[in-house]
Structure 1
Amino acid sequence: MNVKKISKKISNATAIPSILDSAGIEFIPINTVDWEKDYPYKPKVEFRIAHTNDAILIHYRVEEKSSRAKYGEDAGHVWTDSCVEFFSAPGGDNIYYNLECNCIGTILLECGPSRQGREMASPEIMKKVLRWSSLGHKTFDEKIGKSRWEVALVIPYEVFYKHHITSLDNTLIRANFYKCGDELQTPHFLSWNPIKTDSPNFHCPEFFGELYFES
């Protein structure tokens, strides 16, 4: 998938939806139900992505039959809430980052070569990820009933703290996008690029897709 470049500096995540609208960047579905036998539920989830001179921009849009935001502080178990995720290997090596974000913009950021022994980013690094959520930023217990929400992220290149990235122009990186809700009334696990494992596991860089960042 090609990732278009935006020729402006973004200092506020609130502006991302309108900026991507103006650039004509379309949404891509996250609609692969990898473990359909045990987790057949498929909420409507889509994302769009762009980049600037110093950051990756991602805008998610979700419709699901319930939502939860238990975690309001970064570095918590956000994957158990209504959660969208971006896993990427931007350095061309075996290190990949998992950036997980619940529906109120609370994030978890880690990196490493495998699911075990991952290194969590410092609070200072996580704060560099700018967020906007259509639901605000206050925590809430699970709300049963149709829920629509959006999250937008500005991910500066310096957030990839194990690498020195100054530009992604004309660069091909491996990545995947996910939607989950491990502790919701109806747990679910969706991916952009299919994952071929017997049980839910997003930490599978061998199944990442490809993103080409235009200049």
Structure 2
Amino acid sequence: MAYRVYTITDLEQLEECAVFCIDHYQWTQGGKPKAYGRMGLLKDYGLIISMTAIEANPLRTFTKENDPVYMDSALEAFLSFSGAHGNQKYMNFEMNANGALLSAFGTVTERKFINEYTGLRALCETNIEKDRWTVLLKIPMELTCSLYGREPLQSGDSFTCNFYKICETPEYEHYASFAPIISEKPNFHLPEFFKEAVIV
């Protein structure tokens, strides 16, 4: 069943959107922090994604744009508007608890940071609590339209996506996904395993 992306008129309504669980743990020997999120289409803005990890004192060493935050404790959103065929292009947004955001676009074999394509940016906000941390990712519609050369998203449109909880630093290493992945080695860059999402 496709994930249903509801159109909302203010950020508070994101709490009413459907929950996705990042609970397919693979290639993980150590801890398995619980993680989940919600996604909505904010009217006159674009896609809004909130993700939470139940994790105290997350590893957070990186602070700059496009730093390798996947070495920290990170939450990630990968989205494709290319359709489910061929060597599709996708956007990947990777965030740590400092709010450092790595964002890239392209195919599995040819990718660049988004700032090499356009001056448009996704925005990331974070909140750290005693036993958890949350990211709020805001993806302007203009960014999606610019990268894909497409019209703005509307009701009935579909795309594919996956969401991840990761840390590649050996002593904290773990990998989890929203949609399951078939791969012998850790690899989130497999758009053939993204799950369908539909704007409603």
> Scaled by the length of structure 2, what TM-score is found?
0.86
Question: Which of 157, 170, 185 is equivalent to 1:199?
Answer: 185
Deviation, 1:66, is: 4.4
- Equivalent residue for 1:45? 35
8 Å Cα contact 1:28/1:46 also seen in 2: yes
Report if aligned partners of 1:157, 1:165 keep a CA contact under 8 Å in 2: no
Closer/same/farther in 2, CA of residues 45 and 133 from structure 1, 3 Å limit: same
**Corresponding residue number in structure 2 for 1:117:** 110
The answer for the alignment partner of 2:62 in structure 1 is: 71
Q: Which of 4, 13, 18 pairs up with 1:2?
A: 4
Deviation at 1:164, TM superposition (A): 2.6
Describe how 1:1-215 pairs up with structure 2 within 5 A: 1-8=3-10, 16=11, 18-21=12-15, 24-36=16-28, 39-52=29-42, 53-64=44-55, 66-92=57-83, 94-114=88-108, 116-122=109-115, 128-135=121-128, 147-160=131-144, 161-169=146-154, 170-183=156-169, 185-214=171-200
Deviates more, 1:126-135 or 1:86-95: 126-135
**Structure 1 unaligned spans of 5+:** 9-15, 137-145
Structure 1 residue 184 displacement after superposition = 6.1
CA contact (8 A) 2:40 2:47 kept: yes
Residue 195 of structure 1 aligns to a residue whose secondary structure is coil
- In the alignment, the residues of structure 2 paired with residue 60 and residue 47 of structure 1 have an alpha-carbon distance, to the nearest angstrom, of 4
Report if the CA contact (8 A) 1:42-1:188 is conserved. yes
Q: CA deviation at 1:113?
A: 1.5
For 1:89 and 1:80, the matched residues in 2 are separated by 24
Letter in 2 for 1:108: L
Q: Secondary structure of the equivalent of 2:91? A: strand
Distance 2:93 2:118 in 1: 12
Task: Tell me the number of residue pairs that the alignment of Structure 1 and Structure 2 aligns.
Answer: 192
Matched residues in 1 for 2:53 and 2:7: separation?
24
Q: Which residue of 2 aligns with 1:139?
A: none
CA deviation profile, 1:137-195 (whole Å, cap 9, x unmatched): xxxxxxxxx74111111111222342134422111111100010111632100000000
**Structure 1 runs (4+) greater than 3 angstroms displaced:** 123-127
**1:162 counterpart letter in structure 2:** L
**SS where residue 111 of structure 1 aligns?**
strand
Structure 2: distance between partners of 1:108 and 1:45? 19
Q: Distance in 1 between matches of 2:80 and 2:96?
A: 21
Aligned equivalents of 2:45, 2:162: Cα separation in 1: 20
Q: CA RMSD in A?
A: 2.3
Letter in 1 for 2:199: F
**C-alpha separation in 1, matches of 2:69 and 2:139:** 18
